Chain A
Amino acid sequence: MSVLVNKDSKIIVQGFTGSEGTFHASQMIEYGTNVVGGVTPGKGGQTHLDRPVFNTVLDAVNEVGADTTIIFVPPAFAADAIMEAADAGIKVIITITEGIPVADMITASSYIKNKDCRLIGPNCPGVITPGEAKVGIMPGFVFKKGTVGIVSKSGTLTYEAADQVVKQGLGITTAIGIGGDPIIGTTTKEAVELLINDPETEAVVMIGEIGGQLEADAANWYKASGSKKPVVGFIAGETAPAGRTMGHAGAIVGGSDDTAQAKKEIMRACGIHVVDSPAEIGKKIAEVLA
Chain B
Amino acid sequence: MNLHEYQGKEILSSFGVRIQRGIVAQNAQEAVAAAKQLTSETGTSWHVIKAQVHAGGRGKGGGVKLAKNLQEVEEIAGKIIGMDLVTPQTSAQGKRVHQVLVAEDVYYPGETETNEFYMSVLLNRGTGRNMIMYSTEGGMDIETVAEETPHLIFTEEIDPAVGLMPFQARRVAFNLGLSGLAFKEMTKFVANLYTAYVKSDSSLFEINPVLKTSDNLIMAVDAKVTIDDNSLFRHKNYVDLRDVREESAIEVEAGELGLNYVDLDGNVGCMVNGAGLAMATMDLIKQAGGEPANFLDVGGTADAARVEAAFKIILKDPAVKAILINIFGGIVRCDRVAQGVIDAYKNMGTINVPIIVRLQGTNADIAKELIDNSGLDVMSATEFQEAADKVQQVLA
Contacts and interface: CB of A to CB of B under 8 A. Distances in A.
Interface residues of B, number: 61
A157 B143 contact: no
B344 to A, nearest CB: 20
Contacts of A234: 280
Contacts of A249: 120, 122, 133, 142, 204, 206
A152 interface: yes
A110 B159 CA distance: 8
Given A109-B128, A137-B330, A252-B143, A239 B276 contact: no
A215 interface: no
A208 to B, nearest CB: 9
Contacts of A278: 280-281, 283-284, 384
Interface string A146-172: 000000111111111001100000000
Given A163-B361, A248-B206, A210 B228 contact: no
A196 interface: no
Nearest to A102: B228
B178 interface: no
B230 A75 contact: yes
Contact of A139 (B262, B292, B361): B361
Interface string B136-164: 00000011001000000000000111000
Contacts, number: 174
Contacts of A239: 264, 266, 279, 282-283, 285-286, 291-292
A280 B283 CA distance: 12
B317 to A, nearest CB: 15
B123 A237 contact: no
B124 interface: yes
B328 A159 contact: yes
Nearest to A99: B230
Interface string B359-396: 01110000000000000000000011100100000000
Contacts of A260: 283
A102 B203 contact: yes
Contacts of A142: 330, 361
Interface residues of A, number: 59
A103 B128 contact: no
B230 A101 contact: yes
Contact of A110 (B161, B284, B361): B161
A286 interface: no
A236 B276 contact: yes
Nearest to B143: A252
Contacts of A27: 331
Contacts of A247: 122, 203-204, 206, 224, 226
B164 to A, nearest CB: 13
A139 B124 CA distance: 34
A256 B234 CA distance: 34
Contacts of A96: none
Nearest to A184: B128
Nearest to B285: A239
Interface string A248-284: 1111111000001000000000000000111110000
A260 B361 CA distance: 27
Given A75-B233, A141-B362, 13 more contacts: A101-B231, A101-B234, A110-B129, A154-B276, A155-B274, A163-B360, A209-B276, A210-B279, A237-B283, A239-B279, A240-B295, A247-B206, A277-B283
Interface of A: 27, 75-76, 99-103, 105-107, 109-110, 137-139, 141-142, 152-160, 163-164, 180, 182-183, 207, 209-210, 212-213, 234, 236-241, 244, 247-254, 260, 276-280
9 contacts: A137-B331, A158-B276, A237-B282, A238-B283, A240-B295, A248-B142, A249-B122, A253-B133, A277-B388
